[in-house]
Amino acid sequence: MSSTVTSPARTIRIGSRKSQLALVQTYWVQEQLKKHYPDRDFEVQTMSTHGDKILDVALSKIGDKGLFTKELEVGMLNQEIDLAVHSLKDLPTALPEGLVLGCVTERENPADALVVHAKHQGKQLDTLPEGAVIGTSSLRRLAQLRYHFPHFTFKDIRGNLNTRLGKLDAGEFDALILAAAGLKRLDMSDRIHQVIPSEISLHAVGQGALGIECRGDDPEILDVLKAIEHSPTAQRCYAERAFLRELEGGCQVPIGVNTEIKGNSLILTGMVARLDGTSLIKDTVTGEATEAEALGVELAQLLRQQGAQEILDEIFAQIQR
């Protein structure tokens, strides 16, 4: 009588950028997967991406096609890693052939946050002095804040979160605009002086959510990832990503969104703004949450009818100069 030998389950290799925030997010995903699959081994492997290496040039000047994802994607296609954890806002809407968005995890607060220098303790955007120097590397934040607060001075800032906060504390800036989710994940919520309302700053597509990318022909990994998928977040993010994809915008274009699910309905708001803040187009659509991507396309077409494409064409021309 012959006995059957069962081969051990493969070790699942998780790819991550080397930044502090990326590792916190990746280890969180590893922990969640381990909770669901205690008998499996999940190994984290780190890589430096192009965006991590260039810190002295504005993001909009170096392009955003896979800026923080390409090296991880090459690793997956070369079978070096099985999946990669991304801040979803960094993941392009068009993925390389052979790769898919395997799952989207539950979202942290996607809002932008104001962090001020100690001398402005207690102040918010509407009480900061005229000419206050605001640091941000995001054209989306820049355009919206210029629209609402033209009396501020805006200055580009790069580097990881600790580097940026160090520059603020050293007095190079009066305030910074950062993602509330990143501050929370790094246990720095106490640095938030104001969670900026969506009426002032619509957030980036996918902000606050993690996207797990993997090979499309790896059913085992796709099945494993189902355990940490958060459907309401996924529906919201699919709508946002479809909106961005339809407008052919990247994460370094002033396009902002806000999504909400009420019952079976998804409410999607989107905006496109000029870089100088002189004009801003915004609208909202509502529909079935199960038709999330169709809603994103509908909103993009609605904004196009209101002049969004002309604004985007101007911005692309400016960025390429």
pLDDT in tens, 266-321: 999 999 999 999 999 999 999 999 999 999 999 999 999 999 999 988 887 876 65
> Residue 48: which pLDDT band, with cuts at 50, 70 and 90?
confident
Closest residue by Cα to residue 266 from 286, 283, 284, 282:
286
Is residue 202 predicted with pLDDT exceeding 70? yes
> What residues pair up with 129 in beta bridges, in sequence order?
none
Catalytic residue among 82, 90, 112, 174: 90
Angle value at C-alpha 126, between 122 and 130, nearest 5 degrees: 100
Is residue 264 predicted with pLDDT exceeding 80? yes
The helix/strand/coil state of 67 is: coil
Give dist(CA 274, CA 287) in Å, integer. Answer: 28
Annotated active-site residue 112? The verdict is no
At 187 the pLDDT is 96
The helix/strand/coil state of 287 is: strand
At 219 the pLDDT is 97
pLDDT in tens, 14-37: 999 999 999 999 999 999 999 999
DSSP 96-134: PTTEEEEEEPPP----EEEEE-GGGTT--GGGSPTT-EE
Are 189 and 183 in contact, with CB atoms under 8 Å apart?
yes
Are 58 and 137 in contact, with CB atoms under 8 Å apart?
yes
Please state the rounded mean pLDDT for residues 194-205: 97
The helix/strand/coil state of 9 is: coil
pLDDT in tens, 149-158: 999 999 999 8
Is residue 3 predicted with pLDDT exceeding 80? no
Are 251 and 139 in contact, with CB atoms under 8 Å apart?
no
